[in-house]
Amino acid sequence: MNITLASTSIPLPAPNPAAARAPLKNEKAARDFEAMLLTPVLDSLQRTFAGDSDDAKTPGADDYRLMATEALAQSLAARGGIGIARLILRHLPPPKVSGGG
């Protein structure tokens, strides 16, 4: 038994890279915004529970603590955070992209 497949060519619309990236930009912006909101909350928690140590008095310790807190907030937001990014995305209109062929 011979089976032959007929090949048909269906023209596909030209890809629009800007249209493909637009939702990703919204998601990243929402996650970044959530991380910005989480940073002061996490920093306040860290200050409250860290106590008073000699390490905290070291020059630059506040800067390093804040950098660590920002990294933690970014990581939390990237993995879903506390849901702020989802709420933002739910209420954002779909992106309007021009030049779509």
Neighbour-count burial of 79, counting CB atoms closer than 10 A to its CB (0-12 exposed, 13-18 middle, 19+ buried): exposed
Q: What is the pLDDT along the chain (101 residues), one digit of tens a residue?
A: 555 555 455 554 555 666 667 788 889 999 999 999 999 999 998 888 877 777 667 888 888 888 999 999 999 999 989 999 999 999 888 767 676 55
pTM recorded for the entire structure? 0.66
Here the tokens at position 41 are 């909350």
Token duo for residue 60: 């630059």
Give counts: helices (H), strands (E), the chain: 3, 0
Tokens of 96: 């309007």
Q: What is the longest distance spanned by two Cα atoms in the chain?
A: 84
**Encoded amino acid at 42, one letter:** L
